[in-house]
Amino acid sequence: MIKFYDISQWQEKPHFQTGGTRDKVIVENPEDGNLYYFKTSLKRANDEYKHEFWSEIIASDIGRELGFNTLHYDVVINKNKIGCLSKSMVDANRNKLSEIINYLRGYDSNYNPNDKSSYCKYTFRFIEQALRSYNMEGEMRHIVTTIIFDSLIGNGDRHQENWGFIIPNSHGGNGEEHTELVVNAVKCVFAPIYDSGSCLGRELLDEKIEKMLGDDQMLYAYINRDRCEIRWDSAKKISHFDLIEQIMEQPNYRQTVEDEIARIERVFNAEKIAKIINGIDQHLPENLTQYGLPGNRKQLIKKIVSLRFDKLTELKCKDCKTYT
């Protein structure tokens, strides 16, 4: 269940550096002494995705409802900023988060995601080759599952630093990243799914929401424009569904994808999903209701999830026709 906190009095940890593009800070909860990550919605020069933090919270809650291991986010106010809060996935005394980029760069030292010439390298195969080089190909099932989760919410931002593994603090890596990953390959655990908030129409302006609700063609076109950050081959980005279809065609992944889609079909309950979305902001105190998620956005998010679920499950049927 999503809770509301006022964290204005929690102590900020300014010396911690986090990656990422949103306004964020690490804070210590005075009650339990644990560290938490607070982040706001994305602000760009011309765009303000003011409802984006709700997409993070809804995505995580829907994910849990459907049996994915998503990181839990609550809604919080921090002085004059509204945003979402997650408890640290790691305990600095014991372990740390090593994001996928470390494995990719450990495998291919020329890979640099900030360099345009590297964009096209970020493919499913590249991730597979990198993990295999660490004898971690067994972890690919988590990669597949996360892509399927993203297909349901339309998250277009699963870049190299938005997923990873929790590894023990190394004894023997001498601080050298590659050695540390090798030493810990057998002890790593795929991290809970985090930073999934670039989804569920968070970038749509208010006027567009109304239009889309009244125009199914416009909504379908929007969903069909979906692009997954992870490519199949280097040429161009494709939709999550096209990527999943490609993965499904690989004999060693077909069963994993089919089982996962079948599992989601079994647990998907439109009423429960609607309840999550409708009630997401119910704990906001009265003086902060201006930050609530407007009813028409909730309406659109419900439609998006439902249409995306249909598209995902159609893939399985398509596959049945092809293979049986």
**Residues that bind Mg ion in the complex, under the rule CB under 5 A:** 20, 162, 195
- Residue 135 binds to ligand ATP (criterion: CB under 6 A): no
Which amino acid belongs to residue 79?
Answer: K
Q: What is d(CA 100, CA 143) in angstroms, rounded to the nearest whole number?
A: 10
Provide the 3-class DSSP secondary structure of residue 12.
strand
Q: What is d(CA 242, CA 236) in angstroms, rounded to the nearest whole number?
A: 12
- Residue 34 binds to ligand ATP (criterion: CB under 6 A): no
Nearest-CA neighbor of 65 among 134, 2, 133?
2
CB of 265 to ligand ATP, least distance (A): 29
Which amino acid belongs to residue 81?
Answer: K
- Residue 39 binds to ligand ATP (criterion: CB under 6 A): yes
CB of 53 to ligand ATP, least distance (A): 10
Pick the stretch among 8-16, 101-109, 113-121, 156-164 that binds ligand ATP (CB under 6 A). 156-164
- Residue 88 binds to ligand ATP (criterion: CB under 6 A): yes
H or E stretch at 26: strand 24-28
Of residues 162, 170, 239, 256, which one binds ligand ATP by CB under 6 A? Answer: 162
CB of 132 to Mg ion, least distance (A): 25
Nearer to ligand ATP, 95 or 151 (CB): 95
Of residues 4, 29, 82, 89, which one binds ligand ATP by CB under 6 A? Answer: 89
Q: What is d(CA 74, CA 241) in angstroms, rounded to the nearest whole number?
A: 29
The sign of the dihedral angle between the CA atoms of 94, 146, 100, 247 is positive
Q: What is d(CA 178, CA 133) in angstroms, rounded to the nearest whole number?
A: 11
- Residue 282 binds to ligand ATP (criterion: CB under 6 A): no
- From the list ligand ATP, Mg ion, none, partner contacted by residue 319 (C-beta under 5 to 8 A by kind): none
Of residues 18, 234, 282, 296, which one binds ligand ATP by CB under 6 A? Answer: 18
- Residue 65 binds to ligand ATP (criterion: CB under 6 A): no
Nearer to ligand ATP, 97 or 307 (CB): 97
- From the list ligand ATP, Mg ion, none, partner contacted by residue 296 (C-beta under 5 to 8 A by kind): none
Both ends of the chain: CA-CA distance in Å?
42
- Residue 120 binds to ligand ATP (criterion: CB under 6 A): no
Residues 171-230 that bind ligand ATP (CB under 6 A): 194-195
Instruction: Give residues with Cβ within 8 angstroms of 177, minimum separation 6.
Output: 102, 106
Of residues 11, 12, 16, 21, which one binds ligand ATP by CB under 6 A? Answer: 21
- Contact residues for ligand ATP (CB under 6 A)? 18-22, 24, 37, 39, 71, 86-90, 97, 157, 161-162, 194-195
